[in-house]
Every structure is written in structure tokens, then in C-alpha cells.
Amino acid sequence: MHDISICSGINRTLLNVQYLQLPIIRLSGYLLTQSMQVLLNWDIHNMTFRAVQCDFKRVNVLSFIEFHLTYEPCVFMPFPYTFRLLLKTMGRLDGKVIVLSAAAQGIGKASAIAFAKEGAQVTATDINGEKLKELDGIPGIKTKVVDVTKKDQVEALAKDFDYVDVLFNVAGFVHHGTILECEESDWDFTMNVNVRSMYLMIKAFLPKMLARKSGNIINMASVASSIKGVVKRCVYSTSKAAIIGLTKSVAADFLEQGIRCNCICPGTVDTPSLRERIQDRPDPEQAFKDFMARQKTGRMCTAEEVAHLCVYLASDESAYVTGTEAIIDGGWRL
């Protein structure tokens, strides 16, 4: 048994590798499935033989794929020959340093996991230390308890990093009520959590991004904002409209210095936070029916679906995207 380790983009159809005295190997047309037949060509001085059987298993939840290859006899090597090929797939976020807030549950948690699976080094923060512990032990994720409404804690967090590639501001609060049902304390609390926290985080991390002339900021907004008027979401919608404005302002101000800034605008997402708010209503069953009635697709969005969009915006695939509201609402706004 011989081991060969190579790195390759997971979406490529042609892999090239040179390993010590072994010749170049070309693996074409492979599919990452639980059982697969792969044709592997090995050229040695214009002589070719092939491997026709490939057994697949995932070695690591992040990025390692293991192939066991058995070669059929040929003129050059008239006996079966088996070796193991370890393929390290290149994640879409390999090498990127990402910091995000509100990572203990819901969209933040799903995004932290998705980022790590794509190869990022993730620092997941939240005010809820107990829930945050659920991310401990996941490869690629470090956790830290931070209250992003506290300037001193945000600045201390930023000092822990020489640089950050992606800052994802997720923290938010949903107030239920019209303007007449919104007290000044409700207004101040919502704006503090939803808007001021992003102001503090961006202001703390942006200088290090500017020093490298490279940075990517993603803010969590909502369709309930300047995009769509939603009943009993007065201060919440106001805060999310402010986030859209903040996003566009940062994008415009620092575009030429290599900074991108976008926001994500979900519709109704099935998260623990939503379930808690439904249970807090006088008639939880009716509240759930009301939420479902406005879902034109017949279902709510999942946190994982939003996380897929987050990965795209965090990756270099979206390098030409900035100042946008990335809407993921199943057509609710239409």
C-alpha cells in the first residue's frame, strides 16, 4: 500500500500531481458519491495502465476524501497494484479568517458550521455562552463569549486578530408591535442591538481590513425593512432599513480601498428564535398559522439555506458583489 496526498479544487475534473518518484496521475470525471467507478490513467514513459475500481469514504468532516485504488494487471506491471490516494479538497473559504456574532443558534450557528466546512478559520461569538458551547469541538471553529453591544468587549475582540477576511454581523432582536405599541425603551433596545452593534463591530475591524486593502463585511438585514412593509414590525423594520443604509454607505465609502460590504435580507426563517416568539404570543397555534399563511412557497426558509448564501458572499465567488441586498425570502416580497 502506498499513500499519495494531493490538493485540488473540488470542482475540477482534472487533477495533476507529482509525488516523489511516482509519475503524474490524472484523475478525470470523478464524482464524490458513496460508491464510484473511476478510470485512472497513469502514464509512465508513454505506457499506460488503469485503475477500474475506486472505493470512497470520507475521512474528515471538513475536507479529506480517501480513495483505495486497485490497478488491473498490465504489460508494464503484470500484477495487481493497490495504493491509497488521499485527496484534500479545496474549500470555497480555505484560509479565510471569519468572525461572526450571534453564532449560538439559528442563522449564525448554521453559518459558522458552513464556513468551517468550506475551510475557513471561524471565531464564533455570542452573548449566550452555554448555547455557544454546542460549537466547541467542531474543526475550524473557536468560540468566544462577547456582548456586541458593549464597546469595550468589541474592541477587545478585534485586538485578538492581526487581520480578518470576513466580518459577519448577525446579532439582532425582533420587537413585535406597531409604533403605538413601541415604548422608548423598546426602540432604544432594538436600535442598540440591531444597528449600533454593527456600527461598533465594523468600526473595530475595518481599520485592519483597510491596512491590507482587503476585507469583506456581511450584515444581517431583512425583507422587513425598506424592502417590504410588515405589520407589527415597526422598530424592527426601521432598524433593518438602517442596516441596509449602513451597508451601502460602507460599500460606497471604501470600495476603492478593497472593501466589500453586503447585507442579507431573509424572509421568515425557521429558527429557535422564531419558535420562541411564536410561543410567547397569546395564541401560539394561530401565530404559527399566520406565519405559514404568508409563505408563498408553502414552507419557511431554513437557517441552512441562508447559510449557503452567506458562504457565497463570504467567498471569492462574489468578488464583484458589493453594496447589495441579497434577498432570500421565497418570493414573500412579491
Query: Tens digit of pLDDT for each residue in 222-238?
Result: 999 999 999 999 999 99
Give the model confidence (pLDDT) of 251-275 as tens digits. Answer: 999 999 999 999 999 999 999 888 8
Query: Which of 71, 199, 236, 312 does the annotation list as catalytic?
Result: 236
Banded pLDDT at 66 (limits 50, 70, 90): very low
Banded pLDDT at 199 (limits 50, 70, 90): very high
CA atoms of 113 and 304, how far apart (whole Å): 9
Give the model confidence (pLDDT) of 124-178 as tens digits. Answer: 999 999 999 999 999 999 999 999 999 999 999 999 999 999 999 999 999 999 9
Span 67-84, average pLDDT: 48
Mapping DSSP to helix (H, G, I), strand (E, B) and coil, where does residue 102 land?
coil
Name the pairing type of β-strands 47-58 and 64-71. Answer: antiparallel
Instruction: Flag whether pLDDT at 47 surpasses 80.
Output: no
Q: Which residue has the higher pLDDT, 43 or 188?
A: 188
315, 93 contact by CB (below 8 A):
yes
CA atoms of 237 and 228, how far apart (whole Å): 9
Instruction: Flag whether pLDDT at 10 surpasses 60.
Output: no
- Structural domain boundaries of the chain? 3-90, 97-328
CA atoms of 270 and 233, how far apart (whole Å): 17
Predicted pLDDT at 9: 35
Contacts of 309 (CB under 8 A, 6+ apart): 264, 326, 328
Q: Which residue has the higher pLDDT, 333 or 44?
A: 333
Instruction: Flag whether pLDDT at 304 surpasses 60.
Output: yes
CA atoms of 264 and 273, how far apart (whole Å): 17
115, 98 contact by CB (below 8 A):
yes
> Distances from the Cα of 276 to the Cαs of 56, 174, 271, in angstroms?
42, 11, 9
CA atoms of 92 and 15, how far apart (whole Å): 17
CA atoms of 308 and 285, how far apart (whole Å): 30
Architecture of domain 97-328: 3-Layer(aba) Sandwich (3.40)
Predicted pLDDT at 91: 85
The answer to whether residue 236 is catalytic is yes
What percentage of the chain has pLDDT greater than the value 90?
66
